[in-house]
Amino acid sequence: MKAKCPACLLNRIYQECRMITEDEKLINEIVEIALEEILREFRKREVNAVASTKVHRIVYSMLGNRDPYAEVKRRANQISMQVLPAVKSYVVRDDSFRNAVIASIIGNSFDYGILDHQVKETDFLDYFKQEFRKGLVIDDVEEIKHLSRGRVVYIADNAGEIIFDRLLVEEIKKVGGFVSFVVRGKPILSDATLEDARFAGIDKVADEVLTNGYGAVGIIEDELPETTMDRMENADVIISKGMANYECLSESKFGRIAFLLKAKCEPVAMDIGVNVGDMVAMLRWI
């Protein structure tokens, strides 16, 4: 956790409270308890995604709601589906694997509640075209494509984004990869679950769809089901989408990891060495 992380986390907690209730007393109680938990995690300098998982599980329990972002996720999926034909027209150009990587990373912008980041729900196609022209700041696509001919673990991030992930999974299958696609085991934030994977048709293109266990924000190794852990330990490459997965895996024991993400906050951008808003397809051999 960096200095800006607690403020961002608390902002997201306040937003999801407002999604569910107008009970000011309850909101105050939730904020007070969340503040105490955030402070404990910050003092330990816990990985932000791990701290976020702990705090949000407390908040959801106090709200009495297992999926505060249900409507947000539905809307994100619908927006992505509406623009999918146009996005496909960009992907099928001369380098379809690279184009699918870029499209999937642009989809990573469907991330709600991050300070200084706004999801472009209106005019998303215009936003997509603008970002596509910008391209990647870190570009390890050729190496990622080569490794994708083997055993691939694809760790998804957000709803909405998962629609574009399907395009990349299709490209991985074209080069001969075996794809184990991993989503959250339970609803948390606007992250994709099995329901979102089915909506996107991931189950029709990936070789198998797995979960991260109990729905952590990112990957908490102690919570991984046995099959998911086995696939990750034996993967030729792990494709890790988004910032929370980067936070959890950037110093993990797993080997070849391709981090595909848009750097939407200052701490992650600084850690990678890029600017906020930059898109990266970065291969790390750990």
Q: Tell me, which fold does domain 5-63 have in CATH?
A: Helicase, Ruva Protein; domain 3 (1.10.8)
- Asked if residue 155 has pLDDT above 80, the reply is yes
Q: Which stretches of the chain are assigned E, i.e. beta strand?
A: 138-139, 151-155, 178-183, 208-211, 237-241, 256-262, 279-285
3-class SS at 113? coil
Q: Which residues pair with 178 in a beta bridge?
A: 151
**What is the structure's pLDDT at 115?**
53
**What is the structure's pLDDT at 145?**
98
The tokens 């009970």 sit on which residue? 23
**What is the structure's pLDDT at 124?**
87
Cα-trace Rg, the chain: 18
Residues 6+ apart with CB under 8 A from 4: 115, 265, 266, 267
Look up residue 215 and give its amino acid. Answer: G
**What is the structure's pLDDT at 123?**
84
**CATH 3.40.50.10880, applies to 70-285:** yes
Distance CA 152, CA 13 (A): 34
Q: Which residues pair with 285 in a beta bridge?
A: 256
Q: β-strands 256-262, 279-285: how paired?
A: antiparallel
Tell me, what DSSP letter sits at residue 157? -
Q: Are 231 and 153 in contact (CB under 8 A)?
A: yes
**What is the structure's pLDDT at 260?**
98
Where exactly are the structural domains of the chain? 5-63, 70-285
**What is the structure's pLDDT at 119?**
60
4-17 confidence digits (pLDDT tens): 899 989 999 999 99
Backbone angles phi, psi at 12, to 5 degrees: -65, -40
